């Protein structure tokens, strides 16, 4: 064994030793609660009846997975995620292109576009709520003079999506803009000389180069959107079947004090999020962060 190998190994050991505390803290603050939730999900455990705690195996999963409230909330969540993502991607891309090409006041445009993202969601949600309440709200008076849009499922969901889009499009735009920075002017110029139209340059040159950035943006936003909570609680509090899975889990766990059922839902949400992340990385494997061009295998 050479001295160089020895030195390398020592350095690696030092590296492990240096990140061990952080890794342990991470395990303690995220790993332990997850394990605890899994453990609770196998029990009948209601804080109101502490003496009736017992191990029930998969019964809670059966209860939740055969319940229509759960599936309604699940469908609602997916609907919110899907519509929101499409709208945000289109708007975010447009915003990113504008910010990228802006010659004058680029800093100002970027800062201004980030304002919605900086406002606390609950605060923004309250102003949306008042805006859409008849009599007190300008939007309700403008668009729905005779009704109350927050009391109908369709329009309430649309408003929830709108509130989410309004808030997080800037984030999407920011991530996409980092992708735009990867597209070199030379490539675009070459494509133009070859006779590619504007649209062709966008779809055939820019989008493929931006793929990693797009994946990150879409993945982040999907995971984030799946946990939608504050806007729903403030705008409708889950009335008219507008609950998301997070709202449902909150109602069972925190309001209902049913640790068994509530933890089961939390575990199911965790699994769904993990599945989404897995599918994304598989589907867009080649573009996953840290992967090579040839299918993600190094």
Partner 1 sequence: MRVRRRGGGAVRSIAAWGAAVVAASALSACAAPRHDDVVNLYYAPEEHLQTVVDRCNDQADGRYRIVYHKLPRDADGQREQLVRRLAAQDDGMDVLGLDTTWTAEFARAGWVREWTGAERRQAEAGTLAGPLASARYGGKLFGAPKNTNVQLLWYRSDVVDRPPRTWDEMIEQARRFEAAGEPSTILIPGAQFEGYVVQFNTLLASAGGKLISDDGTRAVVDEGAVRALEQLKALADSGLTSPSMSNSQEDDVRLEFQQGDAAFQLNWPFAYPSMQEDAPDIARNVRWARYPSSDPARPSKVTLGGFNLAVSAHSPNPQASFAAALCLRSPDSQRFSAIHDGVPPTIESVYAAPEMAAEYPMRDTILEELRDPAIRPITPAYQNVSTVLSKLLSPASRIDPPRTAERIRTEVQDALDSRGVLP
- Residue numbers at the binding site for partner 1 (CB under 8 A): 44, 46-50, 63-64, 67, 69-70, 133-136, 146-148, 150-151, 236-240, 243, 248, 251-252, 254-258, 261
CB closer to partner 1, 148 vs 187: 148
**Rounded distance, CA 209 to CA 176, Å?**
11
CB closer to partner 1, 141 vs 192: 141
What lies within 8 Å, CB to CB, of 209 at 6+ separation is: 179, 182, 183, 187
CB closer to partner 1, 2 vs 66: 66
CB closer to partner 1, 87 vs 148: 148
As measured in angstroms, the least distance from the Cβ of 50 to partner 1 is: 6
As measured in angstroms, the least distance from the Cβ of 95 to partner 1 is: 32
As measured in angstroms, the least distance from the Cβ of 159 to partner 1 is: 11
What lies within 8 Å, CB to CB, of 196 at 6+ separation is: 204, 205
As measured in angstroms, the least distance from the Cβ of 259 to partner 1 is: 10
Q: Which of 180, 132, 179, 157 is nearest to 82 (CA)?
A: 157
As measured in angstroms, the least distance from the Cβ of 173 to partner 1 is: 32
CB closer to partner 1, 255 vs 298: 255
**Rounded distance, CA 298 to CA 293, Å?**
9
CB closer to partner 1, 174 vs 234: 234
As measured in angstroms, the least distance from the Cβ of 46 to partner 1 is: 4
Q: And the tokens for 21?
A: 């505390």
């Amino acid at each position: 064994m050479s001295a160089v190998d020895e030195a390398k190994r020592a350095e690696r050991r030092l590296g492990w030793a240096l990140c061990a505390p952080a890794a342990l803290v991470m395990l303690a603050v995220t790993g332990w609660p997850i394990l605890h939730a899994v453990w609770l999900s196998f029990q009948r455990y209601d804080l109101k009846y502490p003496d009736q705690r017992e191990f029930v195996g998969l019964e809670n999963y059966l209860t939740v997975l055969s319940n229509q409230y759960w599936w309604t909330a699940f469908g609602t969540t997916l609907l919110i995620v899907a519509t929101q993502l499409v709208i945000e991607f289109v708007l975010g891309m447009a915003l990113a292109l504008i910010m990228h090409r802006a010659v004058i006041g680029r800093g100002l445009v970027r800062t201004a576009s980030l304002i919605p993202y900086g406002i606390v969601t609950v605060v923004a949600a309250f102003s949306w709520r008042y805006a859409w309440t008849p009599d007190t709200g300008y939007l309700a008076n403008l668009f729905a003079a005779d009704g109350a849009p927050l009391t109908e499922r369709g329009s309430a969901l649309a408003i929830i999506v709108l509130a989410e889009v309004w808030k997080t499009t800037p984030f999407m735009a920011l991530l996409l803009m980092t992708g735009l920075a990867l597209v070199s002017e030379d490539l675009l110029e070459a494509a133009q000389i070859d006779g590619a139209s504007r649209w062709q340059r966008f779809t055939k040159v820019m989008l493929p180069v931006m793929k990693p950035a797009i994946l990150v943006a879409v993945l982040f936003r999907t995971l984030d959107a799946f946990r939608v909570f504050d806007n729903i609680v403030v705008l409708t509090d889950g009335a008219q079947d507008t609950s998301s899975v997070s709202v449902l889990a909150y109602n069972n766990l925190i309001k209902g004090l049913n640790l068994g059922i509530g933890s089961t839902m939390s575990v199911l949400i965790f699994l769904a999020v993990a599945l989404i992340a897995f599918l994304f990385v598989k589907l867009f494997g080649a573009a996953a962060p840290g992967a090579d061009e040839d299918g993600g295998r190094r």
